[in-house]
Amino acid sequence: MQLQVPALSDGMQIAYGLAAIVVIAFVIARSSKRPNLDAIPTVGSSTWLGSWWASVRFFVKGANIIQGGYEKHKGTPFKVAGLCGWTVIVSGPQFVEDVRKASEDELCFSANEGLDLDHMLGRDMHDNPYHIAIIRSQLTRNLGTLCPDIRDEVVTALEETLDLRGNVWKSVPAFKTAQKVICRTISRISVGLPLCRNPDWTDLNIRFSLNVVTGGLIIGLFPKVLAPLVARFMTGVPASIRRGMKHLGPIIEERRKHLEEYGKDWADKPNDFLSWLMDHPEASDRSIKELTLRMLVVNLAAVHVGLAFQSFTQALYNLAANPQYMQPLREEVELIVEMDGWSMEALAKMHKVDSFLKECQRLEGVTSVSMPRKAMKDFTFSDGTVLPKGTFLATASQATQLDDEVYQNANMFDPFRFANMRDEDGEGGKHLYVSTNPQYLAFGHGKHACPGRFFAANELKTMLAHVVLSYDIKLEDTATRPRSVHVGVYTLAHPTAKVMFRKRVH
């Protein structure tokens, strides 16, 4: 009797075909020439199959794996497995300084490797990031001038988002509230009124930030050879660009007409990022699609890939869980605002507000690693450790910030830790929220430190100061402080937990 083999449906044939491509591509990626890192200790298995399983575990528990490696190999490099290769992790002041001092032709900045921005956003965004220079220059220089706009949008966005009635307590989702207020405030500076208050524009920017981060994680699950297809069909970035063009296209066309007719200066010209971008020589012949993408990326870069969303949500959770810290914050803000109003000078004097935000970020920063680099040639650390050309490395930022030898009672939330340190050693600038050093790497360190951190700090300090002055806040009855969610090296504030607000009762 002849055995009948059932025919595969077209859908099953496609599925099996894709699976075969993935397996073949993965084997090719794993079998290709890689830097020889045998001399560097491994966290997890170093065998071919074992390292693959370790890389899968790293995607789920990356923060814990790096913490364990830091504790076991403290002060010396170790390596962890990713799906397509190894990453060397270093820590300690000397290694951090070695990384900071290295030239670009030795250790090249490679945040792109973590998010695969080349495939999601295009090579031009990586090769010609002229928007970063604008963030460092015009945005930072204009913070004093923009302070009233930032304050106005924070107040208006919080009032509309919370929508409180009388003195009644209302339960609100903390993360979504932070997202809306922060996105509107960033948009007030990037594109101005009225677009910054358009709900669809706000939703687009929120989704774009999440699309880039989740898209990077998804692409990281596949071999590099499949990255272009994955970026195109399995991430939301292309749709976000098309959606953004509907909003920005008419505005860009109108401003170009003004530029052609009046030059770079005309009456009532908006003082926002879109104007600064369009004034840049690189933008003169760019398409609306390219400028739209650049503006979406600017909103992303301004908050260091969602850092502001996460940081302020963590601050809300800590404030609601520790109401005893509300009064000291209020007293500081009230005194300073009475003397200096809402200004850059006033924000600079809010040491406790600054410290509260920095402590939240020290304990639960957005990512477990910082200062990502790629060795462009064989590189030798000051202790003699050699990284072969092509090696990827990063610093163990979160583990360093949770080390009792670096910070006293490092795992305890001490909101005024950095304010007290400023008073004790007299080095105020060293302990600012925006300051970086080998012991505090949440913003990176050196010339590649987050360029938008000064704007982010002003925005977050304005938000926290306004919250403590205008509202009472607490956790829901019987609730405990919401725990963070960990995905790979990322630490995410609990995305659905709620806190309770009411208008302040004096």
Candidates 310, 418, 416, 316; CA nearest to 364 is 310
Inter-residue contact 185 to 163 (CB < 8 Å):
no
Produce one character per residue of 351-370: b if its CB has 16 or more CB atoms within 10 Å, e if not: bbbbbbbbbbbbbbbbbbbb
Q: What is the rounded radius of gyration, in angstroms, for the C-alpha atoms of the chain? A: 24
H/E stretch holding 88:
strand 85-90
Inter-residue contact 293 to 241 (CB < 8 Å):
yes
Contact partners, residue 409, CB within 8 Å, separation at least 6 = none
Beta pairing class for 386-387 and 485-487: unpaired
The verdict on whether omega for the bond into residue 194 sits within 30 degrees of 0, i.e. cis, is yes
* Phi, psi at 81, each rounded to 5°: -90, 130
DSSP structure class, residue 266? -
Inter-residue contact 79 to 87 (CB < 8 Å):
yes
Inter-residue contact 415 to 324 (CB < 8 Å):
no
Candidates 360, 394, 353; CA nearest to 375 is 394
* Cα–Cα dist 446/466, whole Å: 32
- Start-to-end C-alpha separation, the chain: 90
450 assigned binding-site residue: yes
What does 142-205 look like in DSSP terms, one character per residue?
A: THHHHHHHHHHHHHHHHHHHH---TT--EEEEHHHHHHHHHHHHHHHHHT-TTGGG-HHHHHHH
H/E stretch holding 379:
strand 379-380
* Phi, psi at 162, each rounded to 5°: -75, -40
Beta pairing class for 85-90 and 392-395: parallel
Beta pairing class for 379-380 and 386-387: antiparallel
Cite the annotated binding site for heme by residue number.
Answer: 450
Pick out the residues of the known binding site. Answer: 450
